[in-house]
Every structure is written in C-alpha cells, then in structure tokens.
Amino acid sequence: MGTQDAVGEKTSAHILALFFLALLPALLYFNSLGNSFHYDDGFYILNNAYAHDLSRVGHFFVSSKLISNITLSGYRPLTMTTFAFNYAVGAGNPFGYHLVNVAIHVLNTLLVYAVSLSLMRVFEVPHVRKAAMATAVLFACHPINTQPVNYTSGRSTLLAAGFSLLSLLLYMRRERAKTGTKRILALAGSLVAYSCALLSKEEAVALPALIMLYELCRIRLRLDTRNIKRVIIPLLSFAVLTLGFMILVVHVLGLISDTPQARGMGENLLTQAKAIFIYGKLMLFPTNLSIDHVIAPSRSLLDPLGAASVIGLTAIVIASTVAIRTFPMLSFGVWWFLLALAPTSTLVALKLVVNEQRMYLPAVGLMLIAGAGFGAALEQAAKTGRSGVRTAVILASTAVALCLSAVTVRRNIDWRTPLNLWTSALHQYPASVRANTQVANLYLQDGRVQQAVAAAEKAVEIAPDFPDARMALASAYSRVGLQEEALKHARAAVDLNPVSSDAHTTLGIVYARLGRYAESEAEWRRALELDPNNREARENLEKLRDHP
C-alpha cells in the first residue's frame, strides 16, 4: 500500500507540474493577444491571396513563391497552412493568430519539460524532476522568446522548434522501448516529426546534429563497435531525410536566393562569433531587447572585439569538449546552443547579425545548463543538512523567474503596435537605420509628417546607401510639398535598388505630384512588372487612367 501511495503521489505531482507549466506561459502572454500584425505579416498573411483560401493550401507544398512579395521566397508549407486555417476562422483579425502562437509556445514548454526529464536522467543530474521543471519554467518565462511568440510570422520558428523537440523526445524514447516493434515505431515517429519541422522552417536541419550530439554525450565519446552499430541506421535515416529535403528545396523548387550575401564568409564568421556573446548577454541580462540590433561587422582579426570573441569561443568549445565525461550535461548544453544556432549564424550571411527570434531553440541548451545547476544546488544544499540553504536556493531561483516574467509581460506591450515596437528599438539603438526608416513610414501613416521628415532624414544621414531610407525621405518630403527634394531621393532609391517595386512606386508618386504623368505611368508599370501583386502601383495606374 505504501508503494502505491508513493506512486500516486508522484503521478499527482507530475500532473500538477504539467498543469503549472501550461498555465504559466499562457498567463505571461495573455496581454499579447490584443497585439497587432507586424512587418512581414503583410507579405505572408494580410496581402497573400494563397493564405486566404483553404482550397489552395496544396500549392504551399509545391512552390516556394506563394507570398505577396514575389522578390521573397521560402519553403514553409506547414506554417503557411496554419495561416490559411487562421484566416478561414478569423480572416484578418490578429487575435486568432496570436492565440495560436501562444498555444504553440505552451505546447513547446511542455515538450521542453519532457525532453529535459529524459536528458537529466541520462546524464544523471540530481533532483531530476526539479531540474527539468526549472528548465521548462525558464523557457516559459524568459523574455528572449517574446519575439517569435508575439511576431505572427515567427510561428515558423515556434513550429520548427516544437517538432524538433518532439522528434528528439521520440528518438530518446526509442532507447527505452522494450521491443523491436516499439523501437521502429518510435524512430518512425521521430522521422515524421523531423519532416514536419523541416516543412515549418528550414533551420530545423540542425536536429540531426543535436541527435548525434546526444549520442556522443550519452556514451561519453566512447566510440566502440557496439555503440556505432546501435546508432548507425537511425542517424543515416536522418541524414537521408535531410539530404532529400535539401534536394527538394534547392534543385526541384529552385529555392536559391539571388540576393548577394550580406557579408563575405570570413567576415560573417568573425561577426557571428561576436554575435554569440551578444546572445549570451541577452540570456543573462535581457534588458535591451530590440527588433533590430545594431552590430558593427568584424572584417578581420585586427578588430579587438572580433578577435577576442573568436578566442573566447574557441576556449569555450575546447573546455566543453574536454568536460564531456565529467560534466556531460554542461557539454551537451553548450554544444546544443552552438549547433542549433549554426544554420542561421555560420555559413549563411543573413542581413541581420543578431535576431532574437533565432534563439528560440538554441536557448534551450543554456536553459538545460541552468536547470542542471539548480538540481546540483539543491543536492549541495541537502548535503549541508540545513533547510535554510535549500530555502535560499529556491527563493533565489523564484526571484529570477519572477524578474524574467515581469520583463516578458512588459516586452509584450512593446509589440502592441508597429510604432510601439520600432520606437522601442530606437530607444535601444538611436543609430539604427532600419528603426528610423520604419518609424518615419509609420509617422507618415499616422499623419505626423514633420516627425516623419526628421526620422527619415536621420535614417539617410546614418546610411545614405540604404534604399528604404531614401524612399521614406522621398515620401516625407513629397507630403510636405518639397517635390524636387523628394524626386532626388526617389531617384536615388531606384538607383540603389533598380529591382525594387516599391522604389519605382514611390518615384511614380513623386512624378505624379510634379504633374509628370507620363513618367509616373512608366514607373508604376515598371513596378508592376517587378511585382504584379503591388496593389498601390495598380491602384495608382487606375486613377491615372481616369485623370482628365
């Protein structure tokens, strides 16, 4: 009877933990449900006819060009399908989209708990359940996750991470299966979940590396014949699936970006080494969160910060590898962070050096270390035999969680409107050309023309070769009647980016206000050639036909 009571108590505690972990993120993100759409949401959702018709969702699986801006591409059919279902239920009301994002984050929190439980057991972390609980609480409440949860288009990140966690969980369950059939089913389920992750966002390609990392840490790098035979078929299955996905998106769908790389490979690797420490700082002190981080590139090892970052990163990699047999959870967490971040922060030179959204899955590695540290602290407290030490550990950890939760709730408010979001970015980085440009455009929409002029002038002063800043200044000058000045900047925008449909649209508007209708018509026609979905250019041409 005593054994049954103990089992019952453990089951009740487990259910209570799951309930708490579901409730916590739901409460923390409750104030995000009334937030607006932002930025690329227009391309992916609001102006995307394919996302407005459930009968057309099959097209998402056979094309990478089904968004309203034809200059952009991406193969995320599962994510796009969820947008179509959202639109079928609530059309363009952002509430439903945010509700789904929060629900996915809740499910991901539960998955982090389940994965943490398995990992803590494998790596023999003391106080397994409490350590896993601490990891999941940190994931639920850390402000670094506010961007993908609040940003509707960030759903691709949420889904890719969730399916990756599910795939890893099923893979680990395979090890505990008692029959060959159950092992096969677990592996099949893991591969299906990985496929769903890939169909949500391409950065999920990091998962096979995480699974290999798990195996290496589990066996403490002891590569004997038995261990190799045990994992060779599963790992080959993931490798084949990854290769098939890459062939599909690159050679079959032609998903090859024609956009020049933002930086050369060497410069990008140096810069990203610095970015890794910025991500680490945001994890420890999430006080300057921003939709846009201004980070100076490191062009050579002569850059002190770049060189120091490379040296520091190399030391961390060596130390975490050496510690794999003594502190496997520490090594696993560090390498998880680096490997999960690799698809967006190594060979591919993306425009944004630092993007908080990229941290959603990589951050789990650092949170696992923190959770294991909490378990170790409880173990040390127990060894002292003094309850006060244990209480102090719990109170300190609770205080950290409460502080992080408060920052998360406050950060959700920044995402309330686009103007809130970009003015908060300006507060953190006054020299951000993207933030100044976005604020200028938003001021124009709000009729605050003089403020728009000031913000656009600042953007052009910061980066004269940024075409969006030139467009914003042209629009602002045109609104205050400075048409010749507006024309100069509109032409500069077209010169800087001749294939920008928006730049030609802006130039056409300025020509029209100068009474040069033939030239405005030519610009709008060119805009439609570049992007047939350009609604503003089409409407302007229709108005021009009615002009006497």
Tokens matching residue 211: 């699974």
Q: What is the pLDDT, as a whole number, of residue 270?
A: 85
Give pTM, 2 decimals: 0.92
Q: Is the pLDDT of residue 438 over 60?
A: yes
Residues in the chain: 548
Range of weakest confidence among 54-58, 96-100, 161-165, 200-204:
54-58
Averaged pLDDT for residues 165-182? 88
Helix, strand, coil percentages, rounded to 5, for the chain: 75, 0, 25
pLDDT band at 505 (very low <50, low <70, confident <90, very high): very high
- Nearest-angstrom CA–CA distance, 20 and 14: 10
Average pLDDT estimate for 230-255: 83
What is the mean predicted confidence (pLDDT) over 430-459? 96
The average pLDDT across 44-51 equals 85
Of 195 and 64, the structure prediction assigns the larger pLDDT to: 195
Q: Are 540 and 512 in contact (CB under 8 A)?
A: yes
Provide the pLDDT confidence category of residue 400 given band limits of 50, 70 and 90: very high
Does the pLDDT at position 418 exceed 90? Answer: yes
d(CA 288, CA 307): 24
- For residues 451 and 20, what is the distance between their CA atoms, to the nearest angstrom? 46
Q: What pLDDT band is residue 258 in, cutting at 50, 70 and 90? A: very low
Question: What's the pLDDT band for 263 if we cut at 50, 70, 90?
Answer: low
Checking if the pLDDT of 484 tops 70, the result is yes
What is the average per-residue pLDDT within 164-176?
93
Q: Are 64 and 447 within 8 A, CB to CB? A: no
Answer whether 406's CB lies under 8 Å from 31's CB.
Answer: no
Query: What is the percentage of the chain residues whose pLDDT exceeds 70?
Result: 93
Are residues 97 and 66 in contact, defined by beta-carbon separation less than 8 angstroms?
A: no
CATH number of 430-545: 1.25.40.10
The answer to whether 155 touches 74, Cβ cutoff 8 Å, is: no
Domain boundaries, given as residue ranges, for the chain? 16-414, 430-545
42: pLDDT confidence band, cut at 50, 70 and 90? confident
Confidence class of residue 259 from pLDDT cuts 50, 70 and 90? very low
Q: What percent of the chain is predicted at pLDDT more than 90?
A: 67
Who has greater pLDDT, 70 or 77?
77
Instruction: Give the model's pLDDT for residue 68.
Output: 55
Q: State the Cα torsion 517-518-524-529 to the nearest 10°.
A: 170
- 88 burial (CB, 10 Å; 0-12 / 13-18 / 19+) is middle
Residue 325 has pLDDT above 90, yes or no: no
What is residue 510's predicted lDDT score, i.e. its pLDDT?
95
Among 115, 528, 507, CA closest to 340: 115
What is the predicted pLDDT for the residue at 219?
Answer: 82
- The mean pLDDT value for 400-423 works out to 97
Place of tokens 């290496």: 216
